[in-house]
Amino acid sequence: MEMEAKNEEILAVRDVTKCLFQFTQFTVLRCVIELGIPDIVENHPGKGSVSLAELSKASGALQPFLYRIMRFLTQRGVFKEVKMNGQDSSIGYAHTPFSRQLTKDRMAPLFLLMSSPEMVSSNLSLSKVISSDTPNLNGFETAHGVDLWKYNAENPKFSELFSKAMASVVSSYVSMVVENYPDMFEGIGCVVDVGGGNGTALRTLVKACPWIVRAINFDLPHVVALSDGGDDGRIENIGGDMFVEIPRGDAILLMSVLHDWDDEACVKILKNCRDAISKETGKLIIMDYVISDNLKNNDDIYEEFRLGMDIEMLSVTINGKERNTKEWDDILKAAGFTKYTIKYIPALISAIEAYP
């Protein structure tokens, strides 16, 4: 028994140490994204591999230091180390599926947002949030003096980063929903994307659904100013406030919006969505996180990330949270939606179809 306890302690120390260095990996990944390393490897003509010397020259990073960074990441399987032939250095690097996701047209914007000083300092304020008697306190406001949305409006560079980060994931969500439930958007002539950011998700949707004749990207004025709609004449950008009024359409789309708000605010948004669609033929499509009702016996590989996102909401929003099916039921019924269906897809989010 004594030996067993000793072994358990050794394993516990190992696990805690591993956890400590997760933040180190987090910062190193931000470093290589800022240097453009993943995109340099992606776009290099050398048959998928780049020598250390070439990588150093292209990124501007000092070669001895860059070697240590890449050694750290290759040991963890982020990049792959390869042998280079006919070049000054025998060390080179190639992509893995992991590192390829760090390019600027994939998940790099999201990573830069989550590792930004603004978001990290908000997370570091979490203990103050959960131990405070102050109503509506959140980590972001504790760290920066204003809430996330006001900070976004007052800081254009951060607002642009935030929009790009959201766009880097929402378009893939749209594609997954269309692929798994192709009939969800059938018969829709006009769709309104509420909180649509820079319009990336809407551009993905109208490309996949050519029968949509009008698509409205609706968000705060300073947010939609970042979108030009691309070259698709069906897309129109409209600035406004979802708490006041939402443009009318055959269907309203809410993607990763409601988890930012408490139940009272969500009911207000949902009522405005209901008012913007026909009671006979309109519908609301929600793409958001649904926490399992059975966490103990759940083999869904995405569940731990949904729970992690719930902690992010606790850190950076005022009473935002991820909801289970009972909590979704409560706010939808309170907003006057008479029926709804939750449709699961192999992703972090689920799709909810709701009808007045």
Contact call for residues 246 and 218 (beta carbons, < 8 A)? yes
Q: Of residues 44, 95, 144, 259, which has the active-site annotation?
A: 259
How many whole angstroms separate alpha carbon 319 and alpha carbon 308?
15
Helix (H) / strand (E) element for 324: namely: strand 323-324
The radius of gyration computed from the CA coordinates of the chain, to the nearest angstrom, equals 23
Which letter does DSSP use for residue 133 in this model?
A: -
Residue labelled with tokens 């929009």: 163
How many whole angstroms separate alpha carbon 229 and alpha carbon 211?
17
129 vs 122, 125, 307, CA distance in Å?
10, 7, 18
Q: Taking each helix axis from N to C terminus, what angle separates 52-59 and 63-75, rounded to the nearest 10 degrees?
A: 120
DSSP for 192-253? Answer: EEET-TTSHHHHHHHHH-TT--EEEEEE-HHHHTT---TT-TTEEEEE--TTT-----SEEE
Residue 171: φ, ψ to 5°: -65, -35
SS3 label, residue 157: helix
How many whole angstroms separate alpha carbon 118 and alpha carbon 165?
14
Closest CA to 260 of 171, 346, 147: 147
Q: Is 259 among the residues known to form the active site? A: yes
Catalytic residues: 259
